[in-house]
Chains A and B, each alone.
Chain A
């Protein structure tokens, strides 16, 4: 609802605050209410009811359609953004987030201060939150929805605090709730007082969402319910919190790199991937990535990988938290390959590749390598330089040009005999007279690669009057039954 309100305000279509407004989704029997604003709730409108019924209650009701998928996507982004408080966070149902704050609350000055900070941050985004801190997922869920404002539950008070809450705080299915209400069990304390044996026998065949005993055990911590984050925690991560939102992370980058490298050095690792993330004040996270071709923990080098790309990060209206994490790490021992202390060529080369890749992208930097093929364009392959040095097969037996055109260019040729060498050709609107030639060298198509009907090529090395040497080929033969007259192409240049 609040997200919708924000979107409407941004487009200038926001309805007045005192107008009852609801968001609806399609139900089995017409639209049902998905969310309602405060005036609508005061008029007695419940979520889950049908819109036509609620119109009868409140004739001036404004109905808009809800963007459920957009809400889910926004919640996913908030999930990542909420990792500013703790390392792990997961989505809980359609409207909740669970943060695993064990061991990180003291960084914020205790749980109460952390909850206050969380609430303040979310209210800056225009969102209201109901918060609770509890030792178990179930208890936190119950206290956040039915408990006090910013409830904090120490481990020894779980049963005491959960007792007065209604049974719907146990995350149970509607059928089970109805059954419990009919049995007269209204609060969690009442359910907890029922002997375990009776509860177990009564709900022996129902699974977890409908089983009050299992849910109660989860809430009280007798049944483990771990928070399993989808993404594994990076082992090496440093962050810097800023007092005020800023737009440019450059001044902090050097310090972050040094911290990260100090930690990597201590553990004996080098990193292959780096993720620089800025947590924006408007609830988004912008990430910049860099890769290295060899594991590295040189702060200066890692910092330089971000040098020219820092402007690609989208700062929005500013950000107040920067994290730098080593995405992939490899064991890197301290080695000295030379006694004289001079710089090592291989290391420098790897760093050069890193810098070039960081600036131009991995596709622009390549190492050519030879492949075992007679077709000239297939005889040379390319691998990304960041992947490392290739192992080469032997080169071709025949002489090859030093430069090859990306695509062979068609030339108009004058020849004395159809199967023989050309006498002169026109290429790029210039006429070249041929003085000497070598060839033909016939290269047949590779039937296992080429389409049927591909014509063979007869290559000629020719020298023109001015001295330049070119590599021409005739595609096909006269009367080979694969198209009309053969065409001529210029494919490369000899030194």
Chain B
């Protein structure tokens, strides 16, 4: 009975990315913090949220992000995607390139990677990105590594870490489909929470389900319409 209840609850909470309030319906600007700097789970999570699209992605990296966490690798991202890569040195240049990219309607998304807490990435700068994204209706994803979650104007703020992957269908030794622990800790439109996220390749969407170990999954922490700032 208990397990059935959990099953039902999981079914209820299993929502596609398009139904996650704040990711695609409203919040066009999101900030994702990597729990571990060298972990590529953040990249997978962001790409799963964006989904496949014929339009190119503008991918802006500063120098440290490229050196420490590697460059996006097209054969791994899939042949369907097309990418416009911008490698710049300073975080201020990343923000400039992102702002210009958000003006352009021919892009499916703008991804920026900034290492640490540079002074250029102030509340004003993130607010500008948000306004620009909402004016142009282009999703903006800011990936931050080695950073602290201080003041930001992003609509949604996530913290993402890799989880042990799903079992491989044919090989018990091998890692299977990736799974991530995604925590939405600040959001303008939707209720913050924690989920186990995985990419549903067939439907091209992000599946969010409550993590197994969390007994208090249905407790509603946070309230609707919580402010993004802070």
Contact = CB atoms under 8 A, between A and B. Distances in A.
A403 B69 contact: yes
Given A345-B55, A364-B88, A468-B162, A370 B104 contact: no
A348 B106 contact: yes
Interface in B83-101: 83-88, 93, 96-97, 100-101
Interface stretch (A59-67, A89-97, A163-171, A430-438): A430-438
Contacts of A379: 75
Contacts of A427: 38
B11 interface: no
B73 A495 contact: no
B77 interface: yes
Contacts of A405: 70-71
Nearest to B43: A402
Contacts of B204: none
Contacts of B222: none
A401 B85 contact: no
Contacts of A467: 39, 41, 161-165, 179, 181
A469 B79 contact: no
B70 A469 contact: no
A417 interface: no
Contacts of B104: 345, 348-349, 351-352
Given A395-B79, A428-B38, A436-B173, A463 B71 contact: no
A463 B79 CA distance: 24
B105 A345 contact: yes
Contacts of B21: none
B93 A495 contact: no
Contacts, number: 177
B70 A492 contact: yes
Contacts of A23: none
A369 B73 CA distance: 10
A447 interface: no
A494 B76 contact: yes
Contacts of B84: 349, 353, 365-367, 385
A378 to B, nearest CB: 11
A204 to B, nearest CB: 69
Nearest to B56: A349
A395 B75 contact: yes
Interface string B149-188: 0000000000001111100100101110011010000000
Given A403-B69, A495-B47, A468 B100 contact: no
B85 A469 contact: no
A339 to B, nearest CB: 17
Interface in A432-450: 435-438
Contact of A367 (B79, B83, B164, B174): B83
Contacts of B45: 495
Given A348-B104, A495-B40, A461 B73 contact: no
A453 to B, nearest CB: 27
Given A352-B58, A356-B86, A360-B86, A400 B173 contact: no
A353 B97 CA distance: 10
Interface string B33-72: 0001011110111010000000110100000001101111
Interface residues of A, number: 56
B128 interface: no
Nearest to A345: B106
A395 B164 contact: no
A368 B175 contact: no
Contacts of A179: none
A190 to B, nearest CB: 73
Q: Chain B contact residues: over half helix, strand or loop, or mixed?
A: mixed
Interface string A192-203: 000000000000
Contacts of B97: 356, 359-360
B40 A494 contact: yes
A142 B73 CA distance: 69
Nearest to B136: A348
A401 B107 CA distance: 24
Interface in B132-146: none
Most B CB contacts (10 A, CB to CB) among A347, A382, A403 go to A403
B220 interface: no
A389 B47 CA distance: 21
Most-contacted residue by chain B among A344, A349, A366, A379 (CB, 10 A): A349
Contact of A463 (B83, B165, B181): B165
A155 interface: no
Interface in A50-87: none
Contact of A437 (B39, B164, B173, B179): B173
A403 B175 contact: no
A353 B85 CA distance: 10
Interface in B173-229: 173-175, 178-179, 181, 199
A436 B78 contact: no
Query: Which residue among A365, A368, A396, A435 has the maximum number of chain B CB atoms within 10 Å of its CB?
Result: A368
B103 interface: yes
A412 B183 CA distance: 33
Contact of B71 (A344, A345, A403, A437): A403
Contacts of B78: 395
Contact of B178 (A380, A436, A494): A494
A127 B73 CA distance: 60
B222 to A, nearest CB: 25
A43 B173 CA distance: 101
Contact of A401 (B73, B101, B163, B199): B73
B195 to A, nearest CB: 15
14 contacts: A349-B106, A351-B104, A353-B84, A356-B86, A360-B97, A395-B78, A404-B70, A428-B38, A435-B164, A466-B161, A467-B164, A467-B165, A492-B40, A492-B76
Please give me the 10 A-B residue pairs with the lowest Cβ-Cβ distance, nearest first: A495-B44, A345-B106, A493-B40, A438-B174, A395-B79, A403-B70, A467-B162, A349-B106, A400-B76, A404-B73
Interface of B: 36, 38-41, 43-45, 47, 55-56, 58, 66-67, 69-79, 82-88, 93, 96-97, 100-101, 103-107, 161-165, 168, 171, 173-175, 178-179, 181, 199
Interface of A: 343-349, 351-353, 355-356, 359-360, 364-370, 376, 379-380, 382, 385, 389, 392, 394-396, 399-406, 427-428, 435-438, 461-463, 466-469, 492-495
